[in-house]
Amino acid sequence: KAIFQLENGFSLGTGALRNNGALFGRQAFVGLSSDYGTLTMGNQYDFIADYITPFNLNGYASVYAGHMGDIDRISAVQ
């Protein structure tokens, strides 16, 4: 199967683009998926966002409160 994902960020108050003005500044990727696995290419979060972030208790209140500077990339900021 062909897959894709396009994520945009904008301000609710003004409608201005977020992510330094990039139209799809969060995730924008295409790929192929089958019973054997998935292959994707493009701008996407790394494995930390999928596997570690759900276990980050500080992330539910404030990611940066427990991880100043995001050294461990647990907030998935690129």
Contact by Cβ (8 Å): 4, 24:
no
pLDDT in tens, the chain (78 residues): 999 999 888 888 888 888 777 788 788 999 999 999 999 999 888 777 777 666 666 655 555 555 555 556 655 555
Residues linked to residue 2 through DSSP beta bridges, in sequence order: 32
Report d(CA 20, CA 71) in Å as an integer.
21
Report d(CA 19, CA 74) in Å as an integer.
18
Contact by Cβ (8 Å): 51, 73:
no
Output the pTM of the full model.
0.59
Q: Which residues contact 77 (CB under 8 A, 6 or more apart)?
A: 70
Q: Residue ranges per domain, the chain? A: 1-44, 45-78
